[in-house]
Amino acid sequence: MTTSTAINSAPNGPRCVVTDDQAVALLTAAVDTPSVSGHERPVAELLRSRASDMGLASTIDETGSVVAATAGDPLRSDPRTADIVLLGHIDTVPGHIAVKRVGDRLYGRGSVDAKGPLVAFLIAAATAALPEGVRLVVVGAVEEEIATSRGARAAAARYRPAACVIGEPSGWDAVTIGYKGRLLATCRLARSLSHTAGPSGSVADEAHAWWTRVLAGVARLNEGREGAFSSVQATLRSMHTGSDGLREHAEVRAGFRLPPDVSPDAIRGLLASCAGSATLDFSGAEVAHVADRGNAVVRALSATLRAGGVAPRHLKKTGTSDMNVVGPIWGCPIAAYGAGDSSLDHTPEEHIQIPEFLRSIAVLRAALEQLAGEVATGAPGGR
């Protein structure tokens, strides 16, 4: 990427100029570089190189995440400098989508979830004017899509930021302040084979009965609750049965999305009470996280949108993000922001609107400058 140094009053590190065409070219290159979870290295190398071209100190950490900072060692905090962490992710779900430009739309896996927000982070960080004593750290984390969140967990241990923005699609005119919690469960059943004409039914019948009991328990939990964000959502992800001629087995995978007042432990207890002879395994446990809509990050993004004549929307999402991982650990002002329609996440039609992507960069740059000024002066962070 061709860049040029911009003259401004910010003393903290080099600043550069990135044209709209260059921004779109970088996004296209990132989307055109496959990075299914567990295979993120090529796109990490691409973004590390381009971040360096833009004057950011960049590297790849021990997890394979790309990390870039406006000053100092990107993998170390400096007690004399306040960090604002911009945490996105570079991995995608599987499924090839041909990368193509159709009018103002850029199609490709990851264009919305979440290379668009991450590339916007890098450009906004490289071009923002920052006061002395504040730096931006951009993390393109690995393994966000497979519930391990390995990259985010490494970042959570490495930094203690003054503020954090999560890179997920909210739409350029909205700010996400909350995500539901999650629990993934696998139920396994095995028994001696019996004749299908007999009275005992099949192992598939037994698995179906378990799921019926689970749904009844979830329905009881949801009594008096209104709206998807406030309710427990239960989804049957897969069911497999098999037999070796002597024994038959079933494996059922299910996912649960949890409101703030329902913990993963509560759902573990519910599933155990329904298990009977089944064995249960659990993974992907995350507690819901809802930020104060008056915190410094939400204020900065919202004020920037209002200054542009837009009434910002404040969203609570029924999915999860790396906000669930770092939010409880850092306890700092936090929100998620990024261009893109999240209803296109993981779909065969995933695409991002180029004008929206470019608007999001301008919003981020202005909001980060406001937030950095507040952090530098020690103004209340609204935690």
Q: Which CATH number fits domain 183-286: 3.40.50.720, 3.20.20.70, 1.10.3210.10, 3.30.70.360?
A: 3.30.70.360
Question: Which residue carries 């991995």 as its tokens?
Answer: 91
Give the pLDDT mean for 88-110: 97
What's the pLDDT score for residue 272?
A: 96
Confidence check: pLDDT of 120 > 90: yes
Give the pLDDT mean for 11-27: 82
Which of 69, 68, 66, 33 shows the shortest CA–CA distance to 141? 66
Q: What is the CATH topology of the domain spanning 4-179+288-376?
A: Aminopeptidase (3.40.630)
- Is pTM beyond 0.85? Reply is yes
Rounded-to-integer distance, Cα 95 and Cα 108, Å:
10
What's the pLDDT score for residue 1?
A: 37
- Looking at every residue in the chain, the average pLDDT score rounds to 93
Which of residues 44 and 2 earns the better pLDDT score?
44
Residues 358, 360, 362: CA angle, nearest 5 degrees: 80
3-class SS of residue 304: helix
Confidence of residue 382 (pLDDT cuts 50, 70, 90): very low
Q: What is the pLDDT of residues 356-381, one digit of tens each?
A: 999 999 999 999 999 999 999 886 54
Is 183-286 in the same CATH topology as 4-179+288-376?
no
As annotated, the active-site residues are: 91, 144
Structural domain boundaries of the chain? 4-179+288-376, 183-286
Q: What is the pLDDT of residues 291-338, one digit of tens each?
A: 999 999 999 999 999 999 999 999 999 999 999 999 999 999 999 999
% pLDDT > 90, the chain: 89
Q: What is the pLDDT of residues 136-175, one digit of tens each?
A: 999 999 999 998 999 999 999 999 999 999 999 999 999 9
Give the pLDDT mean for 12-19: 72
Alpha helix stretches (DSSP H) within 62-146: 116-127
Measured CA distances, 318 to 229, 257, 267, 357 (Å): 6, 7, 17, 23
Give the pLDDT mean for 344-359: 97
Identify the H or E element spanning 212: helix 203-221
Tell me, rounded to whole angstroms, the distance of Cα 109 from its chain centroid.
15
Rounded-to-integer distance, Cα 11 and Cα 372, Å:
13
